[in-house]
Chains A and B, each alone.
Chain A
Amino acid sequence: MKKTGISSRLKKLLLCSPLLFLLTGCSDKYILLNPAGPVAQTEHRLILLSAILVAIVVIPVIVLLVFIVIRYRERPGNQAPYQPNWTDSKILEVIWWGIPILIVAILGFATVRDTFALTRPPSEQKPITIQVVSLDWKWLFLYPDSNIATVNYCEIPTGVPVQFVLTADAPMNSFWVPQLGGQEYTMPGMEMRLWLQADREGVFEGRGANFTGKGFAHMNFQVVAKPQSEFASWVKKVKGSAPSLTQEKYDLLAKPSVVNKQSYSSYPPALYQNTVNKNGGIYWHHPMPMNEPHQMPMEN
């Protein structure tokens, strides 16, 4: 039957298509393949490395399968050898235990190296800190250095490492800005840390990645990266013109709803710590080690 031969080839083409997406990195729509900072860059490099390494096994498997099915198909007059009792070969077994072990060793090495690297600031510049609170169903950003706050967008200076300190005042969500780097969960009562950095100007789409109920699909935000000087003048503008976020306004904001972008010139200084504490952070009576990245209170 010819049908199988052709359709297997067709299948092979289809199978390779995700790899093609990876290797060409084509259009702007594939934001994971269009990193805008060192963290996303490292992750992007690992994605490519892993894709190439797994292809070393996947492609021969598919080629072999097609070859074997065509050659050893039962049909009258098939001259191919038939050895029903041939059941093992030391050399072959060594090959296919050995190659995957080698691949895992290489990939494992790169993974461990980068896993540790990504918990450190991505560059030597003096970092800034932004506290992030995920709410039902919006994102609140607090700037402890300048005491301004924003909702559903934040601005960051380019070329500067940004430490996002994440928590939630709602079911846990996940903070993800694909072009700047991978995500980290926001959990009520806990603090998580994520280093990101933008190397070029731009508006980068971010989203809540973990399901939190009805309004979850609308939990998008934007990260605006601009040069240090423009960033400073933006802070000044917000400080001068925006209303302030009082506790009452926060309580209203924390209620389930979907809202537009907002800016605030100030917020109650204890707002962030109170939010962590009231959701259970109070049970982790440990000082937060600010300079040790990725240290969760839980682990102390």
Chain B
Amino acid sequence: MLKSLISYLQNANLMIQISAVAIILTLVGIVFALTYFKKWGWLWREWITTVDHKKIGIMYLVCALLMFFRGGVDALLMRTQLAFPNLHFLNAQHYDEIFTTHGTIMILFMAMPFIFAMFNLVVPLQIGARDVAFPFLNAVSFWLFFFGAMLFNLSFVLGGSPDAGWVGYPPLSELPYSPGPGVNYYVLGIQISGIGSIATGINFIVTILKMRAPGMTLMRMPLFTWSVLASCIVIIFAFPALTVALALLGMDRIFGTHFFTMLHGGNPMMYINLFWVWGHPEVYIVILPAYGIFSEVVSTFCRKYIFGYKSMVVSLMMISIISYFVWVHHFFTMGAGPGVNSFFAVASMAVGIPTGVKVFNWLFTMFRGRIRITLPMLWTLAFIPCFAVGGATGIMLAVAPADYQFHNSYFLIAHFHQVLIGGVVYGLLAGMYFWWPKILGFKLNETLGKWAFWFFNLGFYVCFMPQYALGFMGMTRRVYTYPAESGWGTLNFVSTIGAFMMGIGFLFIVAQILYSIRHGERDTTGDPWDGRTLEWSLPSPVPHYNFAQIPVVDDMDAWWKMKQQQKEGIQPQKEPLKPIHMPSPSSLPFFMGLAFFICGFGLVFNQFTIATIGLIGVVICMLWRSLEKDTGYYISVEEIKKNEAAVRGL
């Protein structure tokens, strides 16, 4: 294996060789810096072994932003290649690898950790809990994601990236057409992080159902928490389908089975169905939390209760159910009969109904409110028109006979980027700006944030509106180049300009974060936005035990109500101060992730000894955990009082 890797690197093109060197230098730099500043102990104690949901959330956020960067660079490389007809900036093989990694990274290693960051950072604080239901499992989820993402990214420098598209349809993704480790990396990287995602889904359902503060009935729950519940329900029903699809594809490739081959009775349609049984709900997994974020942001920055709370809850749940009945719209053109196509077409349109209702409820929350245009609100305002158009083109695609014309064209590309960027990315950025001061204790700089916003938002339209038009010109997705006679040149060039504007926007976000770490406005009140839900009743950053005393809730927007009552001299109810039970930190989740990584790496290269060693490691970690007697520790009342006095500046 080592020999083949070395020969791969020797034969790889300059770009990959440079990247390999850059990665090694970065690693050496990190090791050196940690040693020089004596930070190894800090890294180990405070981060790697942590089971604190807030720290896990921060780690998810950092990973998501790094992956956003990598996926974004992929996008810019593609847009550069397509800027002019017949360009030779990338060859077909490189282009194929790059669009595959772009799609996989953006969905599974950017959007997913970004929503998990929001789940972790916010949900326990919003419902008045001290941690998630299973803090250890939460850490396992993170490390599985982390090592899954590492394994996937490793493909770039070790052995070659996957090149069969982010959907990995057989027979193209089977061995005869995709030899080499690329698709194995895809299968195993996603598989490992996917196990973590299922665990996260279970963890947050239990947390939300069992760990709410006294008095917080389901219908008093903040809408973000509702959206997380809806999203997690979708996760636990949808992700197993992906796990099965990838496991069977992996067995085809690694052990020579024939689940999805054409020979020996295999059937690729089974993969395509399983993939989209997960794949379509997946887009709702990532968009539902964004809906929740918009609901919180709109209500807070209009100083008004959300309009039509019940409608909002009903529509969230409706979306999470209908989202299971639309998957065939990804392949209307694969020969399903007219009856099947009709059912899935109408179901796909129907999903637009509750979504439309949500948009109107957000609008009418602003109506007769007082709109404060801060960064979270700015992204929310940009979301509404963007998502309305993206949703509208989605309805157009749901019309099955029309989809025969749109399928695989740039019209489709423009549509899903518009809903995933205009919906998910805008939502997650709004959420990041909104909760950043709560978690890290300082606000992100407004001026730099506005530059980022305008570059990214205008860049979006310049990039993707021309792609709708290109769809009408018959341009198909995944072509690495096109002839000059096609007449697609001008619009592609405009689109590329837009992509680079978005890239500049992203750089402004990076600059904004770096600048604000030193110079950002510190939040000393714990409630910088005049918030409405329980997380804003805590000091920023939040102490590790979250709530010294668990609050008692008697209405929606509990903290807003408490503030109103405090003005009238009524003190909020709280449970009495008593010792707090906390889970102990543990290094097992990290080692379990590492063992999965070793197992996955072995399987990628058909090295079964390495894979077995990794698998034994996984089993040992599980046994170790099962036999562990550590039941956590208590924080004494004195310690809580001392700490509260310090953080609340009393």
Contacts and interface: CB of A to CB of B under 8 A. Distances in A.
B456 to A, nearest CB: 13
Nearest to B174: A171
Contacts of B171: 171-172, 188
Contacts of A280: 261-263, 265-267
Interface in B426-480: 454, 461, 465, 468-469, 471-474, 476-480
A82 B367 CA distance: 8
Contacts of B578: none
Interface in B268-315: 268-269, 302-311
A296 B337 CA distance: 8
A286 interface: no
B360 interface: yes
B352 A217 contact: no
Contacts of A116: 338, 342
Contacts of B535: none
Contacts of B402: 43, 46-47, 50, 182
A93 B311 CA distance: 8
B235 to A, nearest CB: 27
Contact of B476 (A188, A207, A213): A207
B350 A32 contact: no
Given A84-B304, A104-B346, A171-B177, A211 B477 contact: yes
A73 interface: yes
Interface in A3-27: 4, 7-8, 11-12, 14-15, 17-18, 21-22
B169 interface: yes
Contact of A88 (B172, B308, B391): B308
A289 to B, nearest CB: 13
A129 to B, nearest CB: 17
Contacts of A142: none
Contacts of B74: none
Interface residues of B, number: 94
A254 B74 CA distance: 33
Given A61-B385, A65-B384, A43 B401 contact: yes
A43 B404 contact: yes
A68 B172 contact: no
A189 interface: yes
Interface residues of A, number: 102
Interface string A205-219: 101111111111100
B96 interface: yes
Given A18-B465, A72-B368, A207-B476, A93 B334 contact: no
Contact of B172 (A85, A174, A213): A213
A55 interface: yes
Given A32-B472, A182-B405, A47 B396 contact: yes
Contacts of B392: 54-55, 57-58
A100 interface: yes
Interface of A: 1, 4, 7-8, 11-12, 14-15, 17-18, 21-22, 29-33, 40, 42-43, 46-47, 50-51, 53-55, 57-58, 61-62, 64-65, 68-69, 72-74, 78, 80-89, 92-93, 96-97, 100-101, 104, 107-108, 110-112, 114-116, 118-119, 170-172, 174, 176, 178, 181-185, 187-190, 192, 205, 207-217, 279-280, 283, 294-296, 298-299
Kindly list the 9 A-B residue pairs having the minimum CB-CB distance in the complex, ordered from nearest: A182-B404, A280-B262, A54-B392, A171-B172, A209-B408, A217-B479, A96-B360, A74-B370, A211-B478
25 contacts: A14-B465, A18-B389, A18-B465, A21-B472, A54-B395, A57-B388, A69-B366, A74-B371, A83-B368, A86-B368, A87-B307, A97-B357, A100-B356, A104-B349, A111-B342, A112-B342, A115-B338, A174-B408, A176-B474, A176-B476, A182-B403, A182-B405, A211-B165, A217-B479, A280-B263
Given A50-B402, A217-B478, 16 more contacts: A30-B469, A46-B401, A62-B388, A72-B370, A84-B303, A87-B306, A92-B364, A97-B353, A111-B345, A171-B169, A176-B476, A178-B474, A205-B474, A213-B163, A216-B92, A294-B338
